[in-house]
Chain A
Amino acid sequence: MKLYARSAADLARSIRSKEHSVAEVVEAHLSRMERMEPILSAIITPLKEEARARASALDIALSRDENPGPLTGVPFIVKDNFCTRGVRTTCASRMLEGWVPPYDATVVRYLEEAGAVLIGKANMDEFAMGSSTEHSAFFTTGNPWDPRRVPGGSSGGSAAACAAGYAPLAFGSDTGGSIRQPAAFCGVYGFKPTYGMVSRYGVVPFASSLDQIGPFSRTLEDLLLAMEVIARPDERDATCSRALRPDFRKALDVTDLRGKRVGLVKEFEGYDIDGAVIESLRSAREILIDAGASVVDVTLPTVGHGLACYYIIAPAEASSNLARFDGVRYGFSAEADSLIELYHKTRQGGFGPEVKRRLLMGTYVLSSGYYDAYYNKALKVVAILRGEFDRAFSEVDFILAPTTPTLPFRKGENIGDPIRMYMSDLFTLPANMAGLPALSLNGGYSEGLPVGIQLIGPRFGEMEIFSAAAVIEKSLGLPRLAGGVL
C-alpha cells in the first residue's frame, strides 16, 4: 500500500520498527499533496521545507534510539485558524493575510511533542463562518470525490486534505458543525469533542461558548490516537477540564453493544433529508441492533429552534471576539487620519461579506432594545434544549442522527442564499449548543459521493460514541481514500 494511503497508527509503527524513515513518510505525503493540490486547492500555506527539516531531525533522534512519541513521523495538517509560531495564520481572511503568530496553539504543541510533523495549513471559510469553504478570501476548495462540489465547511480544507491522503490526520474547529459537516461531505471521520475536552488556546475564537477543536481521520484508531494526544488539560484554556481522560483506544475492542440503548430523535423525522442519508442511517441502525443494542425514540421538542438560537448566539459572540481586529497591533491596517477612521477602514477592507453580515447581525441582537428579545431569549431556549438532551440521555446511551440533510452540493449552489447555506448545519449545531460530543462517520456512498452519519453522546460520554463507531467500522469497513483516480 502507498505510504500516503496508510493510517497514522500504521505509519507510526513502521517508523518505530525502522521499516521506513520519517523523511520517506513525509516525502510521500508532500508529493501526494503536490499532485492533488492543482485539483483541490485545500492548502493555504504548505510547509514543505519546514516538514523536511523536522523529518531529518526526527530521523536523527530515532537513530540515537531516543524514545519516540506516539505520533513520531506522522504528517498532520491544521486548519489555518490554529496559531503556529513563525508560520502565518490567516483564518482565510485578508485581515490576517500576513500575520505571523508569536506562539503555538496548545493542540499544535501537544501534537509536535508527540512527534507529529506539520505539513500544511488548510483552507477554510473566513474566520470559520460558512459551510462550504467558499467564503475563504483566497480561493475555493474542491471536494476530493467531485471537485465541482464543495468539501463542506468551515474546516473544508482539512477534511479534503485528510480524505485525499495529504496526511492521515487533520484538525479543525467546530462551532456549529464545522468539523462534522465537511467530514460527512469528504467521507472521513470528524469528531467534535465535549465542550471542555480539548484546549482551544491559540485557536482564533469565533463563538467561545460553542467552539471546540477536533480531529479528522480515515480510521477510527487514528481518531482515538489523535484524541489521546490532544485531549489533555491546559491551564491556558479555563474551560478545559482538568479531569483524567479515558483510554480512548480501548473502544476499538468493543464488538458487543448488548444493554446499550440507541436514541433516534423523533423531531428529525419531519425534516427534508436526502434518501441516501436515510438509507445509511437505516443500515447503521441495523448494525447496532445486530450487535445487541436496542433502539429507543427520544424527543427534543425544542430542537427545531436550534438554527435560530445558533444564528443569534454565534454572531453575538463573534461580534465581541472579532472586535480585536482594529488595525493597531497586528494584521491588516488601513491608512487613516483618525482612530475611528482607522477602525472603520481596517474592518471594511479586512473582512469579507459573510463575516460582515454576521458581525452586523451579532451587533444588532446585542444592541439595546433587542438584547432581551433575541440574545437573552436564545440563551433561555438553549437552556431548555440542554434540559431536553439531559432527559434523552437518561433514556439512551447515545443518539444516531444524520450529519447533514444533503450530500455535498455544487460550488455556487448555495452561496447566494445564506439561509439555505445555514440549513446545512441543522443536525450538527444542537451538539454545540448543548456542549455534547458528536462524531460524523462515513456511512457509505451514493453515486460516487460519501454519505455521513452522526453519533451524539452525553457530556464527556466520548466512550459511548467510540464504542458504537467501532462496531460500525467493523461492519462497514474503513472509509475509502478519495481521489485515487485523479
Chain B
Amino acid sequence: MAVTEDEVKHVARLARLEVGDDEVVALAGHFNLILTHFERLQEVDTSGVVDVVDAVDVTPWRNDEVASWDGRERALAQAPDRDEDYFRVPQILEEA
C-alpha cells in the first residue's frame, strides 16, 4: 500500500506542518520505505494480547494540595506576544 503525495500533504496539515512541493516527493519515498519495514509486524500473531497496559505501570496518586509558585512573571516573560497577563494570538474567529 503506497502512500501518495496527497496523503503526505494531508498528514502534514494534521501535524500543522507546511511541506514544500520539493519535500513532499522525498517524504512520500521515505514513508513508503519505512512502511515496508513496518509491514513485517503483521507477521506477529497478537490475537492473544488483550491488555497492552502493564499493570506494574499504574501510577500512584498524590494529594491535591495547593502550593505557591513564583515563576509566573518568568513564564509570561517568554511570550512571543504579550498583553499584560495575557498571551496574544492572531484573530481566531471571523467577525460576524
What separation, in Å, do the CA atoms of A252 and B25 have in the docked complex? 55
If over half of B's interface residues share one DSSP class (helix, strand or loop), that class is named, otherwise mixed; here it is loop
What separation, in Å, do the CA atoms of A44 and B44 have in the docked complex? 43
Residues in A with CB closer than 8 Å to B21 are none
What separation, in Å, do the CA atoms of A328 and B86 have in the docked complex? 10
Contact in complex: B15, A360 (CB < 8 Å): yes
Shortest CB–CB separation between residue B82 and chain A, in angstroms? 10
Residues in B with CB closer than 8 Å to A476 are none
What separation, in Å, do the CA atoms of A161 and B60 have in the docked complex? 37
- Given A364-B31, A418-B30: A338 and B38 interface contact (C-beta under 8 Å): no
Contact in complex: A357, B27 (CB < 8 Å): yes
Contact in complex: A380, B79 (CB < 8 Å): no
Contact in complex: B46, A381 (CB < 8 Å): yes
Per-residue B-contact encoding for A173-196, CB less than 8 Å = 1, 0 else? 000000000000000000000011
> Which residues in chain B, 41-96, are within 8 Å of chain A measured between CB atoms?
41-42, 44, 46, 49, 51-52, 54, 56-57, 59-60, 62, 71, 74-75, 77-81, 87, 89-92
Shortest CB–CB separation between residue A98 and chain B, in angstroms? 9
Residues in A with CB closer than 8 Å to B79 are 328-330
Q: Select from chain B the residue with minimum beta-carbon distance to A359.
A: B15
Question: Does A273 reach chain B (CB closer than 8 Å)?
Answer: no
Question: Does A415 reach chain B (CB closer than 8 Å)?
Answer: no
> Which residues in chain A, 193-240, are within 8 Å of chain B measured between CB atoms?
195-196, 235, 238-239
Contact in complex: B52, A379 (CB < 8 Å): yes
Residues in B with CB closer than 8 Å to A330 are 75, 78-80
What separation, in Å, do the CA atoms of A362 and B31 have in the docked complex? 11
Contact in complex: B40, A361 (CB < 8 Å): no
Residues in A with CB closer than 8 Å to B38 are 308, 311-312, 374
Select A307's contact among B12, B37, B71, B78, beta carbons within 8 Å.
B37
Residues in B with CB closer than 8 Å to A339 are 89-92
> Which residues in chain A, 364-406, are within 8 Å of chain B measured between CB atoms?
364, 367, 373-374, 376-384, 386
Contact in complex: B18, A344 (CB < 8 Å): yes
Shortest CB–CB separation between residue A174 and chain B, in angstroms? 18
Select A235's contact among B44, B62, B75, beta carbons within 8 Å.
B62
Question: Does A319 reach chain B (CB closer than 8 Å)?
Answer: yes
Question: Does A348 reach chain B (CB closer than 8 Å)?
Answer: yes
Shortest CB–CB separation between residue A29 and chain B, in angstroms? 29
Residues in A with CB closer than 8 Å to B15 are 319, 347, 359-360, 362-363
What separation, in Å, do the CA atoms of A364 and B89 have in the docked complex? 28
Residues in B with CB closer than 8 Å to A360 are 8, 11-12, 15, 17, 19, 27, 31
If over half of A's interface residues share one DSSP class (helix, strand or loop), that class is named, otherwise mixed; here it is helix
Shortest CB–CB separation between residue B9 and chain A, in angstroms? 10
Contact in complex: A344, B16 (CB < 8 Å): yes
Residues in B with CB closer than 8 Å to A341 are 90
Contact in complex: B17, A311 (CB < 8 Å): no
Q: Select from chain B the residue with minimum beta-carbon distance to A355.
A: B17
Shortest CB–CB separation between residue A270 and chain B, in angstroms? 15
Contact in complex: A242, B60 (CB < 8 Å): yes
> Which residues in chain A, 343-359, are within 8 Å of chain B measured between CB atoms?
343-345, 347-348, 351, 356-357, 359
Contact in complex: A329, B92 (CB < 8 Å): no
Select B91's contact among A329, A338, A357, beta carbons within 8 Å.
A338
Question: Does A259 reach chain B (CB closer than 8 Å)?
Answer: no
What separation, in Å, do the CA atoms of A312 and B60 have in the docked complex? 28
Contact in complex: A311, B46 (CB < 8 Å): no
Residues in A with CB closer than 8 Å to B14 are 363, 367
What separation, in Å, do the CA atoms of A380 and B83 have in the docked complex? 48
Shortest CB–CB separation between residue B1 and chain A, in angstroms? 9
What separation, in Å, do the CA atoms of A435 and B75 have in the docked complex? 33
Residues in B with CB closer than 8 Å to A238 are 59-60, 62
Contact in complex: B31, A344 (CB < 8 Å): no
Question: Does A327 reach chain B (CB closer than 8 Å)?
Answer: yes
Residues in A with CB closer than 8 Å to B27 are 357, 360
Contact in complex: B71, A103 (CB < 8 Å): yes
Question: Does A424 reach chain B (CB closer than 8 Å)?
Answer: no
What separation, in Å, do the CA atoms of A269 and B44 have in the docked complex? 21
Select B81's contact among A333, A338, A364, A382, beta carbons within 8 Å.
A333
Contact in complex: B59, A347 (CB < 8 Å): no
Question: Does B2 reach chain A (CB closer than 8 Å)?
Answer: no
Residues in A with CB closer than 8 Å to B19 are 348, 356, 360
Interface set of B (CB-CB < 8 Å, partner A): 3, 7-8, 11-12, 14-19, 27, 30-31, 33-34, 37-38, 40-42, 44, 46, 49, 51-52, 54, 56-57, 59-60, 62, 71, 74-75, 77-81, 87, 89-92
Known: A308-B40, A311-B34, A340-B16. 5 other contacts (CB 8 A): A103-B71, A238-B62, A344-B16, A356-B17, A377-B41
Interface set of A (CB-CB < 8 Å, partner B): 85, 99-100, 102-103, 195-196, 235, 238-239, 242, 302, 305, 307-309, 311-312, 319, 323, 326-333, 336-345, 347-348, 351, 356-357, 359-364, 367, 373-374, 376-384, 386, 418-419, 435, 459
Top 3 A-B residue pairs of the complex, sorted by shortest distance between their CB atoms: A333-B80, A102-B74, A102-B71
Instruction: Return 21 A-B CB contacts under 8 Å, by A number.
Output: A102-B75, A238-B59, A239-B59, A242-B60, A309-B41, A312-B41, A327-B80, A328-B79, A330-B79, A340-B16, A341-B90, A342-B89, A345-B18, A347-B18, A348-B19, A360-B15, A362-B15, A364-B11, A367-B11, A379-B52, A435-B57
